[in-house]
Structure formats: structure tokens, C-alpha cells
Copies of this chain bind each other. A is one copy, B any other.
Amino acid sequence: MPPKGFLFAGVNCGIKKEELDLGIIFSPTPAEWAGMFTTNAFKAGPVLVSQSKVQNKVRAIIVNSGIANAGTGEKGIRDAEEMCRMLGENLGLGEDEVLVASTGVIGKALPMEKIKEGIGKAIAKLSPDAFSLFARAIMTTDRSPKIVERELSSAKGKVNILGIAKGAGMIHPNLATMLVFILTDAKAPGELLKKYLKEAVDSSFHCLTIDGDTSTNDSVFLLANGESGIEVGEAFRKVLGEVCLELSEMIAKDGEGATKLIRIKVMGAPSRDTAREVGRRVAISPLVKTALFGEDPNVGRILCALGNSPCPIEPGKIDVHLGGFKVVSKGTLIDFPYEELKGYLANREIEVNINLGMGEGAAVVYTCDLSYEYVRLNAEYTT
């Protein structure tokens, strides 16, 4: 069940030829919200505009795909504000109650007339069930929409959580961006949402890397409109974490050209942050990623990537397993059953387990392999 009190729409407004390219979420009841945004210095207009509303309650979100409204300077900010104003006007909301996100080509200006018309069309179609159309309207090179639904039951009643994401990497070609929308009818103060979202994002989307780049438009939104009437705490925190993790894995699996989901588990680090840093270093190595695409037990590349980690490591303490196969003991490669390990690497999901032998810090980093298709998508796509 989608969370109570949210309406959705996804339409084509003409930025793309035929595919859906404009999405709206509307909660007639004002929602508490929390957001996390790209750390890229080139923040897109819509990011700056949504970020500025972090103190407000909000009632709607407008999202377009096809053009990222990034690298567009002052005009980009004005266009993002105008999107909020136009939607607000049509729904009888203040501009400050509307959030905005964009994803697509960097450097192009938005066709504001088309968006204006699209808004009218979308409003006419708002419905509680149209979240899958919304999920489609925000896609760029995604192969499929990414939706996670969860229900949280307690003696007091039921709370629903709906997560919708797009992105085939922390960045796309110049169809940039990871966008995530998590909606719930739970009742929770904004401060709690912020705390929970930060935690959940830290162990999910922040542990996800496709190609090491962070887009100009990345945004994660969490809205709680309280329509269930149920106040939430720890149980919600846990489910929110699961929703973010599941969406992260969906994004990694759908990474550009990806043929495998790769989980890099780092244990024995001095701290959790170090564990994540080390895992990321392995996850972004094109040599590790191409080896896994080739289903080649090329363990030396993993060691090499570990050695390049910006965090201090002690080579002589490191153990590495690929799935259940131990391949490095105390920093030295050991014999392993080559054919069996190659068999393991033929799976669609691969685990690289690294024990640094230094402490108690642990983290999991999610990524995918690097294939011909990645190069094709990114070289042949023409601006």
C-alpha cells in the first residue's frame, strides 16, 4: 500500500519525445521533510532551491527528466524557482511549499513553456496509485523504475513507506544524477527525520559508487505527512535503513552497463569511516571492476587498490575472501582453487570480503562491474 495522503502523476511534457518526463508528488497535508544533497561544488539550480526550503513544511515536489538544469548559472536558479511557483499556483500552495529536482543533460536551459503545460496535464491526472508513473517520469538511462514499498505494523496501527529512486550511478553520462524520494504517512518531527535520513543514507547511498563521480543534481528527499496518525521511532528508523539499502542495491544492479552487483565488505578497520573509504577505493578501481566483468580472479588488483587507499593500512594484516574463497592471507596471495573461484565469479552478485585486521570498524560498499556497455553508453551518447 502506498502511504496515505500522497498523490502522484507522471506525464510527457515534451522535453523528451514520447517518454514520461515530468513527475509530481502532492500531499494536501503539509509534510515534515528532510533532504540530503550533492556535495558537488557545481550544485544545480533545483538543488539550491530545494535546499533553501529545509526549514519549511512542504506539500509538493516537481521533477523533470531529460534536462538537469545544471551548469546553467543564475537562470537555472530562476527556472527552478519558477517551476515551484507554477506548480504552487496550480495547486493553491505557496512557492515555499514546493520542492524541485531535475535530471538529464547538463548545460541546457529548461523549456519553461512546455513545463507549464505539462504541469496542467499532470495535475489533471493526480492519483494515489500513479506512483509507478512518477517513477517512470524521473528515469534517464535507468533500465527499469526503482520502487520499494514497506509496511510497518504496531499495536497502534500501520505506517506505510514508499521509496522511489532513479539513477544508474552517482552520476550518469550527462543524463546526470541519483534522485530518491521516500514518502511515508508516519508522524515524525522534522528533526527526527533528518537524523534518521542521515543515518540511513550514510550506510546506503553514500556507500554506493558506480564510477566515482557525484552528480551536480543528486538529491534524497524524505517526506512524512503524518496521515497514518502514528508516531514512529526505532522501528521506523530500521525500516527506513532497509528501504535506502534496497534502493541502493537496485541502483548498483542497474549501473550503466552493469552485469553484476558487487558488495565490498570491509571489516577490521580502525573506524567505520575508514572501512567505507577503503571499500570505496576498491569499488572505484577500474581494474578491479573490469576484472570482475571478465570473471577473472585477479586478486592482485584488489591488493593494489587497497594499497592506494588514502587511509593508513597495514598490508601484513590483511585477509581477503572472494565469496567463500580465501585469496589473501596476512597480505600475501595464497593458492586458491582457480576453476571453482572462476565459477563463483560467474554469479550475478559477488562479495569481496576484506579484513584489515586493525580494529572494529566495518562497512559495506555497493558497486557494479565495468563493461563494454559502460563505454558504449558513455562514448556513443551524443550531446
Contact = CB atoms under 8 A, between A and B. Distances in A.
Contact of A286 (B41, B372, B378): B378
Contacts of A71: 299-300, 303, 328, 331-333
Interface of A: 39-43, 68, 70-73, 105-108, 171, 173-174, 176, 211-216, 284-287, 290-291, 293-294, 296-301, 303-309, 312-316, 328, 330-333, 370-372, 374-376, 378-383
What 9 A-B pairs have minimum CB-CB distances, sorted nearest first?
A106-B300, A294-B379, A107-B333, A42-B307, A290-B378, A73-B332, A40-B307, A41-B307, A174-B300
Residue of A304, A308, A328 with most chain B CB atoms under a 10 A cut-off? A304
A383 B297 contact: yes
Contact of A212 (B106, B174, B286, B297): B286
A376 B286 CA distance: 12
Given A41-B313, A106-B333, A290-B379, A307 B371 contact: no
B375 A300 contact: no
A286 B382 contact: no
A122 B287 CA distance: 34
A107 B68 CA distance: 45
Contacts of A41: 306-309, 312-315
Contact of A375 (B107, B213, B313, B371): B371
